[in-house]
Structure formats: C-alpha cells, structure tokens
Amino acid sequence: MCANALGGAAVPTVLIDNARTRVTEWRFAERGDNTGWHRHEYDYLVVPLQDGVLEISDGAGNITQAHLQKGVPYYRELGVEHDVINANDGAFAFVEVEFLEARRG
C-alpha cells in the first residue's frame, strides 16, 4: 500500500520489499478496524486469507461491500483511493502484493 495511509487501526506487516515487489499482510483485529484513507501508487493484487466481507469507502460517502473468498485474488490498477474497513464480527486478514516496476509492453 502506498505510504500515505492515514490513521487506520488495521496492522500492516511488510513481508517482502524489494525493487520489484512489496508484499504486505494486513490484519484487522475486529469489526470496524480500517486501513486508513490512501491512494495506491502501484498496480496491486489482494489475496484474502479467509472468507469475509470488507467495506470500501471512496471518501465521498459511498460505501460498497466486497465479499471475499479465501485464496481468491483480485487485481486493481494504480490510482485507487479508498479506506478498507472490516465488516466481519471477528478478525480478518489479507495479503496485498504491489508491483513496484512499471508494466512492460
């Protein structure tokens, strides 16, 4: 995730950080924990570590729900702006992979 995330309660743990890729595990301890408002500076993918629901706030008052399945990844391109909020009754976690190199071709 980009370095400008603001004030979330979710806990990021960087697992890999090199010239090509950054891999971060995000853990939400309880309902309502969030990443903090941020803008993605790189293309990225997310792999949920369990089934669950996250709420995505776009900063304009719109909130959408993302129903995630363990191990089923999703991909987004750079520029996404949002706050990610745990909508589960308990803990939730996912792994985020950022592609730090520019796309080829």
pLDDT in tens, 59-97: 888 999 999 999 999 999 999 999 999 999 999 999 999
d(CA 91, CA 69): 15
- pLDDT of 53 reads 98
- pLDDT of 101 reads 82
Domain ranges (residues) in the chain: 6-11+22-99
Average the pLDDT over 24-46 and give the result: 96
| pTM, rounded to two decimals | 0.89
Q: H or E segment at 45?
A: strand 43-48
Residue 38 near residue 31, CB atoms below 8 Å: no
d(CA 13, CA 101): 21
Fold of the 6-11+22-99 domain: Jelly Rolls (2.60.120)
